């Protein structure tokens, strides 16, 4: 829970620090150090307890699950700043402000992983969303970026409105904002409650870009400056999922049966739309946008089955998805050409980065020996363990076939890098050796977690 306060303070520090700093890379340096501090603070809290405890009964409650997710997201954030810091500097002149916004988002993430009250959920989601609207439009000389920001803002506020309506209805149904009030088995079911839950479901599905509420995603991801797309598509998206899961963790009891069908339909739509549309993309950036929809479909399995397997699965998924996507985006931002052709002959140009990218792409496709395999494995296993293997077998088969479809578009990157030659020989990317080692290191983590996933999962329990 310390994360919320520290991240808020650091956001302010960053903002005023911007006034003092003359050079952009100073801001990057400061931000990196601050994220490192946040990470250290959160690690301390996870291992030894909070640095100072805050009493917020009926509002926030820390849990190991939430802390571990914070830890993963902060680590992903650190990686993100290290590999993409230079690109953030290139977006515009207000670098310190961008970083400040990122810290505010982390504060929002802290709330979304710890809330026990619907009002706090609303606050958390809004604190995450509003800085994102700004970051999307950060490149203000680019019309596409502005259009994306406006679109995102309009759609986002619409979904926020729906969420508020849902919260109000739930309040009407249960007389309380507390999660536990509607999660208890014996809670009386009323139309208000069910309608409210459905509305929140819609709003949250919008936030995590699950079909059929995904329409904003490709345009916004494509229009936003690529560095911020990376942030949005990974860290923020996972945080949204955690909020989603916390919300319905207990609620499944009262609406079991029908509930599974609603989620199953959302999952199948998300998987189908995400994967099939991604096949037809020519730009890697847009492909990644659709792939993020497709991956959201898999993450929804945690909501579908609501058991421990699902929680472990989402932890692995958070790590797998963040590592791989941040890595790919980091390289992508350095490229001039975002199409698949841009990657032609990449293996000759950048042998080490090519291997790292190949590992990350394999991980996204869910090939064994990468953590991506285990994240998908846990998702399917969670559904089977929850006893849906019989009734919802079709959903599992569909999900797996979609995973096979995803191989098609992920492997196009590998094909371009390794089996096609560039038309004219290109020089190496303008990146430092440190960047290469960082991305390769991230790929190594992907492989290590792919052999021993329990190394990460043990933190859930010990």
Partner 1 sequence: MILSSFILIPLIAGLLAFFIKQDQLVKGWSLLAALATLAAVLYSFTMPAAAEGLSYSRIWLGSLNSHFSLLLDGPARVTTLLTAVSFVIIFIAIFKNSYADASQYFGLMLLSMAGLMGVFLASDALLFYFFWELALIPVYFLCSKWGGERRVPVTFKFFIYTFVGSVIMLIGIIYLYSKTPDQSFSWASFKQAALTAKEQAFFFWFFFVAFAIKMPVFPFHTWQPDAYETAPVGTTMVLSGVMVKMGLFAVLRWLLPVFPQMSDKMGGFIIVLAIIGILYASLIAIRQDNIKRLIAYSSIAHIGLMAASLFVKNDMAYQGALIQFFNHGINIIGLWIVVDIIERQTGISKMSELGGLAQQAPRLAIMLVVVALANIALPLTNAFIGEFLMFSGLYQQNVWYAVVAGIAIILAAVYTLGMIQKVFFGQRNEAVQVADLQTAQWLALAIIIVLIIAAGVYPKPLLELGGSLVKTIPLAVAP
Binding site for partner 1 (CB under 8 A): 312, 362, 367-369, 373, 377, 380-381, 384-385, 389-390, 393, 396-397, 400-401, 403-404, 407-408, 411, 415, 418-420, 452-454, 457
Q: How far is the CB of 356 from partner 1 (least distance, A)?
A: 14
Dist. CA 150–CA 356, nearest whole Å: 35
- Choose between 47 and 401: whose C-beta lies nearer to partner 1: 401
Q: Which is nearer to partner 1, 286 or 412 (CB)?
A: 412
Closer residue to partner 1 in complex, CB, 123/460: 460
CB of 274 to partner 1, least distance (A): 17
DSSP for 337-380 reads: --BGGGGTTHHHH-HHHHHHHHHHHHHHHT-TTSHHHHHHHHHH
Measured CA to CA, the distance from residue 111 to residue 124 in angstroms comes to 5
Q: Sign of the CA dihedral 224, 228, 229, 233?
A: negative
Outline where 117-212 has alpha helix (H): 118-136, 143-174, 179-183, 191-207
Burial of 256 (0-12, 13-18, 19+ CB in 10 A): exposed
Question: What are φ and ψ of residue 61, in 5° steps?
Answer: -150, 130
Structure tokens at 188: 């009386």
Rounded least distance, CB 279 to partner 1, Å: 12
Length of the chain, in residues = 462
Write down the least CB distance from residue 43 to partner 1, Å.
22
Nearer of residues 63 and 454 to partner 1, judged by Cβ:
454
Task: State the minimum distance, in angstroms, from the CB of residue 445 to partner 1.
Answer: 18
- 171 or 410, CB closer to partner 1? 410
* Nearest to partner 1 of 224, 457 (CB atom): 457
Q: Within 10 Å of residue 425's Cβ, how many Cβ atoms?
A: 9
Cβ at position 157, least distance to partner 1 in Å: 40
């Amino acid at each position: 829970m310390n994360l919320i306060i520290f991240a808020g303070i650091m956001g302010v520090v960053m903002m005023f620090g911007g006034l003092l700093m003359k050079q952009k890379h100073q801001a990057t340096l400061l931000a990196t150090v601050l994220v490192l501090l946040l990470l250290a603070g959160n690690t301390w809290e996870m291992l030894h307890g909070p640095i100072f405890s805050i009493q917020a009964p009926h509002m926030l409650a820390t849990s190991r699950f939430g802390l571990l997710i914070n830890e993963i997201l902060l680590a992903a954030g650190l990686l993100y700043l290290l590999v993409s810091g230079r690109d953030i500097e290139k977006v515009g002149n207000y670098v310190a402000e961008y970083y400040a916004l990122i810290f505010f988002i982390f504060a929002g993430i802290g709330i979304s992983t710890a809330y026990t009250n619907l009002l706090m959920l609303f606050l958390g989601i809004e604190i995450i969303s509003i800085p994102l609207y700004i970051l999307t439009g950060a490149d203000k000389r680019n019309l596409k970026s502005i259009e994306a920001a406006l679109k995102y803002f309009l759609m986002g506020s619409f979904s926020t409105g729906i969420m508020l309506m849902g919260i109000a209805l739930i309040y009407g149904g249960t007389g309380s904002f507390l999660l536990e009030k509607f999660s208890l088995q014996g809670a009386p079911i009323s139309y208000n409650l069910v309608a409210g839950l459905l509305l929140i479901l819609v709003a949250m599905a919008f936030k995590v870009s699950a079909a059929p509420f995904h329409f904003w995603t490709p345009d916004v991801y494509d229009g936003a400056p690529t560095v911020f797309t990376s942030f949005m598509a990974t860290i923020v998206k996972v945080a949204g999922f955690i909020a989603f899961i916390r919300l319905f963790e207990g609620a499944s009891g009262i609406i079991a049966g029908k509930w599974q069908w609603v989620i199953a339909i959302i999952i199948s739509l998300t998987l189908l739309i995400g994967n099939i549309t991604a096949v037809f993309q020519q730009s890697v950036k847009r492909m990644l946008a659709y792939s993020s929809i497709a991956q959201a479909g898999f993450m929804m399995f945690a909501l579908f089955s609501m058991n421990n397997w699902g929680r472990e699965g989402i932890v692995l998924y958070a790590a797998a998805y963040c590592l791989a996507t941040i890595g790919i985006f980091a390289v992508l931002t350095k490229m001039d050409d975002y199409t698949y052709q841009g990657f032609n002959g990449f293996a000759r140009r950048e042998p080490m980065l090519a291997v790292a990218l190949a590992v990350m792409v394999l991980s996204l496709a869910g090939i064994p020996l990468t953590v991506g395999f285990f994240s998908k494995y846990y998702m399917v296993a969670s559904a089977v363990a929850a006893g849906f293997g019989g009734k919802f077998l079709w959903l599992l088969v569909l999900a797996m076939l979609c995973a096979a479809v995803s191989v098609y578009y992920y492997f196009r990157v590998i094909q371009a890098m390794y089996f096609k030659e560039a038309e004219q020989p290109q020089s190496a990317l303008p990146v430092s050796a440190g960047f290469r080692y960082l991305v390769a290191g991230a790929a190594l983590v992907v492989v290590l977690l792919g052999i021993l996933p329990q190394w990460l999962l043990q933190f859930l329990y010990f």
